[in-house]
Amino acid sequence: MFETLLGLSALDVGLFTGVIFLAGLVRGFAGFALSAVVMAALVVILPPVELIPVCYVLEAAATITMFRGGIKDADMGVVVGLSIGSLIGVPVGLALTTTIAPEYSKAIALVVLLFLATMQLFRASPPFLNTRAGLYLSGFTAGIVTGLASIGGMVVAIYVLARNAEPVKMRGSLVMFLAFSMLTSGLYYLGFGVMTKLALTRGLFFMPVVLSGVFIGKALFRPSLAGYYKRFCLLLLIGLALIGIVRMVYS
C-alpha cells in the first residue's frame, strides 16, 4: 500500500512519521528548524530534490497555525528585506540541486546544515550582517539554501542573531519569513518541476503528523526557556547531520 501511494516502504513510513512529528515539535516551540530536522534525518532515504517539496507542504501547514503569533511579534521591516533577497536566491539553489547528482546534493545539504547549526550554537554571526547590505545578502543566501535543502530559516536565524533580537521577536520574524517565502518558493518549485504529484501526496499524508507535533510544541513553549529550546534544537541538528554524513561515508 505505502509503496504504491508514497513510494516508501512500511519501515520508511514509520521512520518518516517519527522524524516529522519531532520536526513539528521543534517548530512549535522554537519557531524554525522543521525542514532542517527532516532534511538531516531523512536525506539518507530520499535525495534533497524529493524532500524539498515535502518540506514545503509541511512548512506551509505549520506556518498557517503559527501565523497569528508571528505577525504580532515579528520585525516586519526585516522580514520584507529578507524575503526580497530570498526571492532572488531560491532559483539559484534550485538550479544547483536539480542538476547535480543526488549523492552530491545529499552531501552538500548535510554539510551546509552542519555548518549553519554550528555557527548558531557558538553564536558566530558576523557584525556585517547587522547592516542594510547584510539584510539583503542574508535573504539571498537563505534563498539559495532554501533551493538547495529547504533550510533557509537557518540562515535567517544567524542574521537575527547578529541583531541581538529578543527570543520572542526572533521566533516571530522566522515564522513570518517562512510564511512570505512560501508564496514565492512554491511557484519556483512548480517551474522547476520539483513539486510533483508524488511529493504533494507525501506532504499531505504526513501533514496531520507534523501538525500534531506543532500544536504540542506550541503548548510547551515558554518565553523564559527560549534559549534552552534553541540550544536543544541546534544540538539535535548537529547530531543528525553528523550521523547522516557518517552513514554516507560508510555506506
Q: What residue spans define the domains of the chain?
A: 2-250
Instruction: State pLDDT tens for residues 102-118.
Output: 888 888 888 888 898 88
Helices (H) and strands (E) in the chain, counts: 11, 0
Quickly state the pLDDT bin for 149 (edges 50, 70, 90).
confident
Instruction: State pLDDT tens for residues 196-206.
Output: 999 999 999 99
- Would you state the cell numbers that stand for residue 158, as one nine-digit string? 544567524
Instruction: Determine the pLDDT at residue 104.
Output: 87
Single-letter amino acid, residue 211? L
Instruction: Determine the pLDDT at residue 124.
Output: 78
Q: What is the mean pLDDT of the chain?
A: 85
Place of cell 537563505: 142
CA atoms of 131 and 154, how far apart (whole Å) = 19
Single-letter amino acid, residue 65? T
Pairwise pLDDT comparison (221 vs 85), residue with the higher score? 85
**DSSP-derived secondary structure letter, 31:** S
Instruction: State pLDDT tens for residues 41-83.
Output: 998 899 999 999 999 999 888 878 766 655 677 788 888 888 9
Pairwise pLDDT comparison (176 vs 93), residue with the higher score? 93
Which helix H or strand E contains 83, and what residues bound it?
A: helix 76-97
Cβ pair 90, 145 in contact under 8 A: no
